[in-house]
Amino acid sequence: MAAARLGCIADDFTGASDLASQLVSAGMRVVQTIGVPATPLETECDAVVVSLKSRTVAPGEAVRHSLRALEWLRGAGCERFFFKYCSTFDSTPDGNIGPVADALLDALGEDFTLAVPSLPANRRTVYNGYLFAGDVLLNESGMQDHPLTPMRDAFLPRVLQPQTHRPVGLVSHHALAGGAAGVRRRIAELRAKGVGIAVCDTLDHRDLVSIAEGSADLRLLTGGSGLGLTLPATFAGFAPRGDAARLHPVGGRALVLAGSCSRATLAQIEHAKARIPAKSVDVDALFTEFDAHVDELVAFAALNAGEGPVLIHAGMAPERLRDVQTRYGTAASGERVERALATVARRLVREGGVRRVLVAGGETSGAVVEVLGVTGLRIGPSIDPGVPWTQSVGTPEPLALALKSGNFGGDDIMTRAFELLP
Ligand SMILES: Nc1ncnc2c1ncn2[C@@H]1O[C@H](COP(=O)(O)OP(=O)(O)OP(=O)(O)O)[C@@H](O)[C@H]1O
Ligand SMILES: O=C(O)[C@@H](O)C(=O)CO
């Protein structure tokens, strides 16, 4: 049986490949699994990222899946663990960040962890406990209108406290000014006061180095993918590998499925619509004649298939989205859109020669990879920070897949991504 050293549990699929991509950039060989594998780890690697779809399910279910993932990772020989959630701290007052962190700490017999959502490369930073996305506070960034986890408060200790039974504290930039030693001192202080989870300020990559070094004796860390760049160097004897991102080429037709309503994805849809064949999902039709509408989307993609990608998109601006959600319900409309996009993917891969797929949105990506029967992903080169090309494991033929977090990527990613493939 193969073994790994770092075991990661990600609460959505795009977040998992984001983290995997950062670990690969830091020279780790990484395997990403879809769900908790039924068999032991088969490939020799440095880190495993188990992708769950646990961000928006009921807290009890998220805890159950996360604990199963932990058990499997311990069986794979992992010594340290990382719980990956969104760099915009996507959660509700019930969870699932707090409940999962609590359960993992309990299962490991540990009493303290850090919450480090920051990802400076994508301008997610934390100052005095307040999370910024770009130049603005989280609650002014568009995330206040997120369809499933609207984020209306940027002060993370206050967001996290109702989700956990452990007292929440802060490792502020004052502690970080002292580098790794400052982080260690602050952790000792907070532990002595009975704090169980501390949110960390982070302004830049240097802070991520200090946090990783200063917390190297913690068995569990939690946060965004930023730490993925600095964690590997804290493993004794670790030597970065130059060939960590190598993939075999995959030929075939190209498809973009956009199920995210995030600002970056909406801008990317506009950019792509002007350049490639594109069709929007009609949510009303999904409630009146689901199968017929899916047939229509599949026929459009098949008819317009050529050298470049075809785009099928559901994402819409907040006012229109609110209207849809009022009429059909948030969960029901989200589920229908996910099912429609996943069915389009399955049919076009089976019948339409599609082999290269970019999916926008974490929940959407989860639905798509499940329906395609993907059991794992090999992580390849990065398209934009946090968005790697990957190659599927478990499908009848290998597929090139890019699972893009809603707010990641440049405006042109839906076309440029395919130019990067051999
Ligand atoms: N037009 C629409 N009407 C109703 N729901 C929609 C519509 N378009 C998208 N959705 C739903 O919104 C949700 C978007 O979540 P998803 O995780 O895919 O994107 P995201 O949150 O922007 O991405 P990430 O989690 O990577 O940040 C999905 O459940 C999707 O089905
Ligand atoms: O951390 C992020 O922003 C992403 O990896 C993500 O999880 C979005 O779903």
Residues composing the chain = 422
Domain enclosing residue 362, as ranges: 253-419
Per the rule left: phi > 0, alpha: psi between -120 and 50, beta: everything else, 134 is: left
On whether residue 374 sits in a domain, the answer given is yes
On whether residue 1 sits in a domain, the answer given is no
Please state the domain count of the chain: 2
Q: What is the token pair recorded at 102? A: 């609590």
Out of 234, 262, 296, a domain closes at 234
On whether residue 97 sits in a domain, the answer given is yes
Q: What is the token pair recorded at 111? A: 């009493």
Dihedral over alpha carbons 344, 345, 350, 353 (to 10 degrees):
110
On whether residue 239 sits in a domain, the answer given is no
Q: Give the model's pLDDT for residue 3.
A: 82
Residue from 337, 341, 407 whose mutation best tests the ligand 1 pocket (most atoms within 8 A of CB): 337
On whether residue 323 sits in a domain, the answer given is yes
| ipTM, interface predicted TM-score of the complex | 0.96
**For 205-221, what is the mean pLDDT?**
98
Residue 154: CB atoms within 10 A of its CB come to 24
Q: Give the model's pLDDT for residue 2.
A: 79
Tens of pLDDT along 328-377? 999 999 999 999 999 999 999 999 999 999 999 999 999 999 999 999 99
Do residues 315 and 391 share a domain? yes
Do residues 207 and 283 share a domain? no
Residue 297 phi, psi dihedral angles, 5° rounding: -65, -45
- E strand or H helix that includes residue 379: strand 376-384
Tens of pLDDT along 231-285? 999 999 999 988 777 788 899 999 999 999 999 999 999 999 999 999 999 999 9
On whether residue 38 sits in a domain, the answer given is yes
SS3 at position 52: coil
On whether residue 121 sits in a domain, the answer given is yes
Sheet of strand 136-137: strand arrangement: 124-127, 130-133, 136-137
Do residues 214 and 320 share a domain? no
Do residues 268 and 198 share a domain? no
d(CA 51, CA 369): 11
Q: The domain spanning residue 347 has which CATH number?
A: 3.40.980.20
Do residues 267 and 384 share a domain? yes
Mean pLDDT, the chain, whole residue set: 95
Q: Ligand 1 centroid to 336 CA: how many Å? A: 11
d(CA 414, CA 359): 9
d(CA 152, CA 171): 22
User: Which ligand sits closest to the CA of 364?
Assistant: 1
Dihedral over alpha carbons 280, 335, 364, 157 (to 10 degrees):
120
Contact 85, 141 (CB under 8 A): no
Residue from 86, 122, 390 whose mutation best tests the ligand 2 pocket (most atoms within 8 A of CB): 86
Q: Ligand 2 centroid to 164 CA: how many Å? A: 21
Do residues 34 and 178 share a domain? yes
Q: Give the model's pLDDT for residue 243.
A: 79
Per the rule left: phi > 0, alpha: psi between -120 and 50, beta: everything else, 77 is: left
Q: Ligand 1 centroid to 105 CA: how many Å? A: 30
Q: The domain spanning residue 59 has which CATH number?
A: 3.40.50.10840
Do residues 102 and 203 share a domain? yes
User: Which ligand sits closest to the CA of 264?
Assistant: 1
On whether residue 246 sits in a domain, the answer given is no
